A and B are shown apart, each in its own frame.
Chain A
């Protein structure tokens, strides 16, 4: 028995050693990506955008002559899968940099693991404000909800609504955004008539709607997703609730308008935006069309592309491949870095700033609110 254990340990050492040797000729970055499960529809697009950026990095000399590679680890769109994915990337592959999974709850699940192991974690899709305080090794090229919560509060203020009902989806993302909204809104002199969380993924929100109806507010701030938003708008319409709905970016989707079947008319919301007129954006669009002809650009593809490009820049400037050196190089590389999605300068929390646009539904179509 002892012999077997000895042999097995020997094998493990042998293979881990072999891996490290193979790694010296290339620079490998890990990525926990939803390639199966409910987020797989998005995950494929993230992966394609990352691979597009990778091609460009390697075409222009890689990381100081060494080719850059991304090792994708599927997380089955779950927190559990994300945790085992990142543990594999850290413990077995010992990668200093890992691209984190989509969906805030998945990202938050792997955050402490990266921080404890002093491994750099970069996100391109997760918005929860809690990620800002996750740790010093955690960065994201996607704007935090902190900004959007303030954005919705300002929108409410600008439209002249002083008393509103606030409802939000009951998860990390929703609660975080609601907190930020509340703080800013109350500071602006607003008043909350009622506030409550609603569950994710239900088909019946009539009791929630009734609670809104009872207070007969002029406006309701609803921080929610596509499906939940559509169902609530539809059922509010049926119940005869006439309010101005104010929403965030997560419900901004033609699918939401289609599901609400006309009841989404007149909704106003905010969303993080970036100019599509910049040379960076045009270059990305052309490169995408060249690599993936006929394929629609995926949601958040631009952010994933920026993440890989910025990471490559940092790796080039890093003094060594130790996480601390890369971290210093990443902060330096981000200073004034203008990517496809705008300025990616990291602040003290590893967050970037963003500009916010306003959207509305008019004639069954989503457009900019003016």
Chain B
């Protein structure tokens, strides 16, 4: 029994990080109507910038390195928008998609250029997990769940209780109409990019803290996030959250029945089935931040 409980717990941990990535990805989709393939690179950059700061010449302690690293990640996110996507925003959506693939290559290979392709680590000694009722969880993992709850809670507050959040939802519903109603589009798009890169960068850092860093770490997680977005219905923030958790739990619990080698197969088979049976996502809403 504890075996299954532990599998679910592991699923929640993995899922909460997937959810962080997926929510950012789906918000960008909700407003700009394209999947930003460079989203994964924000994950990797968040992690690598912390690595940059804790090593010489900066040698900042880890907890102090996080904030500046996240600020730079946000700057990269906003920069993507300002210098690549904004000039193309009135063109075809496919153009944006391809531009984002280009940005993704650029950012990923910049990491390779600076840090190399080799695996890196923050060099923190592993600690024994905290044991309770036969379950084991490490402090880093508690931090992962905590960060997801904090960031997504803050997002809930923003979207439902503030004017900015409401305008964000309005823009996601109908961009032209929202602009006609006098909603400041610049402010809304800035908010979306800042939030998406913040979530990605923070998740990337936590993931690297939990495991390690490599240039393709963004891409692997981006695929999971993309699946979560599809599962929740593209553009649906809470759908992405549930989708992320669902994938995390499904692939971890699936291990009890299949060889762990098929972990990715399990999550993608489920998505495949869902797309056939419920093409609009579990919640049946096609668009809009609800």
Chain A residues in contact with chain B, CB under 8 A? 38, 41, 170, 196-199, 202-208, 210-211, 213-214, 226-227, 230-231, 234-235, 237-240, 255, 258-263
A198-B260, A231-B211 are contacts. A240–B119 as well, Cβ < 8 Å?
no
11 additional A-B pairs beyond A240-B131, A259-B212, beta carbons within 8 Å, are A38-B117, A196-B259, A196-B260, A206-B10, A210-B3, A211-B255, A226-B119, A231-B211, A238-B129, A240-B129, A263-B126
B122 → A minimal CB distance (Å): 9
Residue in A203, A237, A262 whose Cβ sees the most chain B Cβ within 10 Å: A203
The 3 closest A-B pairs by CB, nearest first: A207-B255, A203-B211, A197-B261
B14 / chain A contacts, CB cutoff of 8 Å: 204
Are A170 and B10 interface neighbours, CB within 8 A?
A: no
Name the CB-closest residue of B to A168: B261
Size bin of chain B's contact surface? 20 to 34
Are A261 and B255 interface neighbours, CB within 8 A?
A: no
Are A238 and B138 interface neighbours, CB within 8 A?
A: yes
A247 → B minimal CB distance (Å): 17
User: With A and B bound together, what is the CA distance between A234 and B121 in angstroms?
Assistant: 12
Are B261 and A237 interface neighbours, CB within 8 A?
A: no
A38-B117, A262-B126 are contacts. A239–B212 as well, Cβ < 8 Å?
no
Q: Between A and B, how many residue pairs show CB distances below 8 Å?
A: 85
Q: Is B207 an interface residue (CB 8 A)?
A: yes
Are A239 and B260 interface neighbours, CB within 8 A?
A: no
A199 / chain B contacts, CB cutoff of 8 Å: 260-261, 263-264
Q: Is B186 an interface residue (CB 8 A)?
A: no
Are B136 and A239 interface neighbours, CB within 8 A?
A: yes
Are B128 and A238 interface neighbours, CB within 8 A?
A: yes
User: With A and B bound together, what is the CA distance between A351 and B259 in angstroms?
Assistant: 33
Are B260 and A211 interface neighbours, CB within 8 A?
A: yes
User: With A and B bound together, what is the CA distance between A234 and B131 in angstroms?
Assistant: 17
A239 / chain B contacts, CB cutoff of 8 Å: 129, 136
Q: Is B6 an interface residue (CB 8 A)?
A: yes
User: With A and B bound together, what is the CA distance between A234 and B251 in angstroms?
Assistant: 21
A211 / chain B contacts, CB cutoff of 8 Å: 255, 260
Name the CB-closest residue of B to A203: B211
B94 / chain A contacts, CB cutoff of 8 Å: none
User: With A and B bound together, what is the CA distance between A238 and B123 in angstroms?
Assistant: 15
B24 → A minimal CB distance (Å): 19
User: With A and B bound together, what is the CA distance between A198 and B126 in angstroms?
Assistant: 22
30 A-B pairs whose Cβ atoms sit less than 8 Å apart in the complex? A41-B118, A196-B261, A198-B260, A203-B207, A203-B212, A206-B252, A207-B7, A207-B251, A208-B255, A208-B260, A210-B6, A210-B7, A210-B255, A211-B255, A214-B3, A227-B119, A234-B126, A235-B211, A237-B128, A238-B126, A238-B136, A238-B138, A239-B136, A240-B128, A240-B136, A255-B119, A259-B119, A261-B123, A261-B126, A262-B125
